[in-house]
A and B are shown apart, each in its own frame.
Chain A
């Protein structure tokens, strides 16, 4: 009987899967997102040293005078390298995710709302084609064809990144389009573009934003992998993932050299996820 005893209707929990964030907490997290973005934008001004030149003794531990986060194996300031690394990773990730949302979201919205052959060809075929290919390899191939460099890497990653969003948005739109409020809008002689933008799109945004925020961490990692392979940021330039990977052998002797950029990646993903949740909670969407 236990399986049958939960009634539906009244008295359902307000949110399933975790309590909702209180508004002040949510705003604080959104503030944190803004702060990270500000730090990323002004990283060059904030960095105390040149991140590429050796500026101090080798392998200084964190909290050493003059070098807050210590120095690496050839005496470069870790704080400066991390700040510039955050700039590259964070801004790149935002660009990739934003372009993915824009391209994938538009395709998913149109395909989901239109249905029929547009859905079948535009989405089922083209999107599935992209999804079937191993994303990282395609990105590598694209970068190899365009020539290495940060901008080309971003283009390469963005090209393989949108199909996920197209899928997610299409599914959400399909579910929403079956709701009576869309039929009511059709009966009320609302134009098609307006149904898309006013009656469907706002309902998709929460899901899209949350999955996008979960993805920021993935993009950071993919960019790190690419730069490790020599695609993307070139070797001396600071890059969080690449820095971690290159100095991994020092993990037991000088943990901070690979550890600090690694922790920065972790923090970026965490802030992105929490921030995404917070944005969703603050959005005035009731279902």
Chain B
């Protein structure tokens, strides 16, 4: 940890431009950065800020297809990562660098057993087992024989970490390693990174969009905005006493468990008939185990295991749970996209269920214009052409989008705009219940915040009933009048939002809450 030793990586006056969709744009501008031995440097920024490109530069993996044009220097272990020969780059990557990426499923080779993939670094099964045990994989010897798809997301990320530290690297580049993980697994992985640093003495460049994560683990913090390094310093200083305006806005847009909450719906009168009535709902999936083609050893998974819920008219219920808890399956059954094995869902009111999907991009038809897609919802009403046009423009205005968006195709819109279009489609005819499946998990904090505000506004305007599924407790608290915590297909805790967060009754809820990376002592205003 001595700041005097030679830095592992030096980035000096580094500028980079890349070609994307035929247009060359400046991605990084005059970056100066040093990663000291044994330190964890957090790199924070929103999507498009250039943080991943900086990581790829350090790894010497800039995509040729984007015709990178670089200026300045990126040096890792004394080697110029921008201009060195491929063989030299490979040597540095093998001996000095380790990498952990966001999506461990696509970063691991799906056709190779885990043991073989780790073996590429270690050449020795005993060493592989030792590595897997170091990163906290139980039954490591058995895991060597399995393929990546047989492991959970958390385990895959640990395998990636094992491969990354296998070559005893001086620097581990971790690009959003926890974004795809549940909070409890995220907490474990952050602990793991800290332990790896302690055990191997390596430096870590941790790229994240979550200031809370960075604050928990990083020694120093660098903030990247539009390709410019706006702030760098000790993590505690950057988070609690930010100098740059952008850092302040990042902090302000963070959703936390203590942020002020909209209380305007809490007084909703209890009507006799609930808008959504779910009775003893079960959904069983049959899975074949053992992998053998003719081994009939099949098992059953109760994705939804006897759920009873009533959602009052105009109420918002947030469902929280980790991946695999059955919350999405429940939502799909309410939407009518999946059939329950037993039990019933009764919706009162007109308009049917409408859904806002997690991945807005794939929920919009790529070759149809936004106007066409919104217009489709009005076909039942047999309106005149002019009326349809007016209603489409009104629907776009309701989600703060200009009328021109109607002519655009989904590919021409940003992620936030797409999600707004999805919301407009779901709410342009008031639905019996609005189902939201993690609509903000793919968005940057500031975008997520405005999207959530928009859903709340729409809800107030048309008195919608909302069922909001999320893995983020802060979002659940913000969006739900009540929160239901799901675990293994059951609702383990149900109560008013504030109460569930501040006085959780169940041990599981407390575990979830404890794993949320909060910035304590509050951010500077």
Contact indicator A5/B59 (Cβ below 8 Å): yes
Chain A, interface SS category: loop
Q: Which residue of B lies closest to A11 (CB)?
A: B63
Structural contact, B102 and A7, CB atoms closer than 8 A: yes
Task: Name the segment of A144-152, A153-161, A163-171, A175-183 touching the other chain.
Answer: A175-183
Within 8 A of A (CB), among B82-113: 90, 93-94, 98-99, 101-103, 106-109, 112
A13 touching B63, Cβ below 8 Å: yes
Q: What's the nearest-Cβ distance from chain A to residue B124, in Å?
A: 15
Q: Report the Cα distance A180→B353, complex, angstroms.
A: 16
- Does the CB pair A189–B377 fall under 8 Å? yes
Q: Mark A183-196, 1 if CB is under 8 A from B, else 0.
A: 11111111100100
| A-B CB pair tally, cutoff 8 Å | 126
Per-position 1/0 for B27-46, Cβ under 8 A of A: 00000000000000000000
Q: Which of A44-52, A198-206, A209-217, A243-251 contacts the other chain? A: A198-206
Q: Is A1 an interface residue (CB 8 A)?
A: yes
| Residues of B contacting A190 in the complex (Cβ-Cβ under 8 angstroms) | 376, 379
Quick check: A189 and B352 within 8 Å, CB to CB?
yes
Assembly CA distance A7 to B61 (angstroms): 9
Residues of B within 8 A of A198 (CB): 365, 368, 372, 376
CB distance from A179 to the nearest CB of B (A): 6
CB closest chain-A residue, reference B354: A187
Could you mark each residue 430-452 of chain B with 1 if its beta carbon is under 8 Å from any beta carbon of chain A, else 0? 00000000000000000000000
Q: Mark B356-371, 1 if CB is under 8 A from A, else 0.
A: 0101001111111000
B112-A3 in contact (CB<8A): yes
- Across the interface, name the chain B residue whose C-beta is closest to A200: B365
Report the minimum CB–CB distance from A217 to chain B (whole Å): 28
A285 contact from B121, B163, B362, B366, Cβ within 8 A = B366
Question: Measured between C-beta atoms, what is the minimum distance from B378 to chain A in Å?
Answer: 10
Q: How far is the CB of B356 from chain A (nearest CB, A)?
A: 9
Cβ-defined partner of B335 (8 Å) among A1, A7, A12, A187: A187
Would you call A202 and B367 a contact (CB within 8 A)?
A: yes
B368 and A4 contacting across the interface, CB-CB below 8 Å: no
Q: Which residues of chain B from 55 to 69 have a CB within 8 Å of any chain A CB?
A: 56, 59, 61, 63, 65-66
Per the bound structure, the CA–CA distance linking A11 and B59 in Å amounts to: 14
CA gap between A14 and B90 in the complex, in Å? 25
Chain A nearest Cβ from B376, distance in angstroms: 5
Pair B355/A7 contact, Cβ less than 8 Å:
no
Q: How many Å from the CB of B513 to the closest CB on chain A?
A: 29
Complex formed: what's the CA distance from A68 to B158 in Å? 72
Q: Which residues of B contact A3 (CB under 8 A)?
A: 109, 112, 117, 120
Q: Is A253 close to B, CB under 8 A?
A: no
Residue total for A at the interface (Cβ-Cβ under 8 A)? 35
Contact A181 B93 (CB under 8 A): no
**Shortest Cβ gap from A90 to chain B (Å):** 30
Residues of chain A lying within 8 A (CB to CB) of residue B47: 10
Q: Does B340 contact A (CB under 8 A)?
A: no
* Cα–Cα distance between A109 and B90 once the two chains are bound (Å): 47
Q: Which residue of chain B has its CB nearest to the CB of A7? A: B101
A2-B90, A189-B380 given as contacts; is B365 within 8 A of A181 (CB)? yes
Considering the chains assembled together, what is the distance between the CA atoms of A287 and B364 in angstroms? 10
Task: Out of B357, B373, B425, name the residue touching A180 (CB < 8 Å).
Answer: B357
Known: A187-B353, A287-B366. Is A4-B409 also a contact (CB below 8 A)? no
Other-chain residue from A1, A203, A286 in contact with B120 (beta carbon distance below 8 A) = A1
Given known A-B contacts A3-B112, A187-B337, A187-B354, A285 and B376 have beta carbons under 8 A apart:
no
Given contacts A3-B117, A11-B56, A185-B365, contact A286 B357 (CB under 8 A): no
Contact residues of B between 127 and 177, Cβ < 8 Å to A: 160, 163, 166-167, 175
Q: Which of B21, B120, B425 contacts A2 (CB 8 A)?
A: B120
**B422 near A: Cβ within 8 Å?**
yes
Q: Is B12 an interface residue (CB 8 A)?
A: no
Question: Judging by beta carbons under 8 Å apart, are A284 and B367 in contact?
Answer: yes
Closest chain-B Cβ to A112's Cβ sits at a distance in Å of: 16
What 0/1 readout, one digit per residue, does chain B (404-435) give for beta carbons within 8 Å of chain A? Answer: 00000111000000000010011000000000
CB neighbours (8 Å) of B368 from chain A are 198-199
Which among A14, A186, A285 has the greatest number of chain B C-beta atoms within 10 A?
A: A14
**B52 lies within 8 A of chain A by Cβ:** yes
Check: A9 CB closer than 8 A to any chain B CB: yes
A6 interfacial contact with B, CB 8 Å: yes
Q: How far is the CA of A27 from the CA of B354 in the complex (A)?
A: 42
Complex interface: chain B residues within 8 A of A191 (CB): 379
- Expressed in whole angstroms, the Cα–Cα distance for A186 and B120 within the complex equals 47
Residues of A within 8 A of B365 (CB): 181, 184-185, 198-199
- B contact residues around A7 at 8 Å (CB): 52, 56, 61, 99, 101-103, 107, 175
| B93 surroundings in chain A (CB, below 8 A) | 1, 5
Show 27 A/B contacts (Cβ-Cβ < 8 Å), sorted by A.
A3-B109, A3-B117, A4-B108, A6-B61, A6-B107, A7-B56, A7-B61, A7-B101, A7-B103, A11-B53, A12-B63, A14-B20, A179-B362, A180-B357, A180-B363, A184-B355, A184-B364, A186-B337, A187-B335, A188-B354, A189-B377, A191-B379, A198-B368, A199-B365, A284-B409, A285-B367, A286-B367
Starting from the known contacts A3-B120, A4-B109, A186-B337, 20 additional A-B residue pairs (CB-CB under 8 Å) come to: A1-B93, A1-B94, A4-B99, A4-B160, A7-B61, A7-B103, A8-B101, A11-B52, A11-B53, A180-B359, A181-B365, A184-B355, A188-B377, A189-B380, A190-B376, A194-B376, A199-B365, A284-B409, A286-B366, A286-B411
Where the two chains meet, the residues of A that have a C-beta atom closer than 8 Å to any C-beta of B are 1-14, 179-181, 183-191, 194, 198-199, 202-203, 284-287
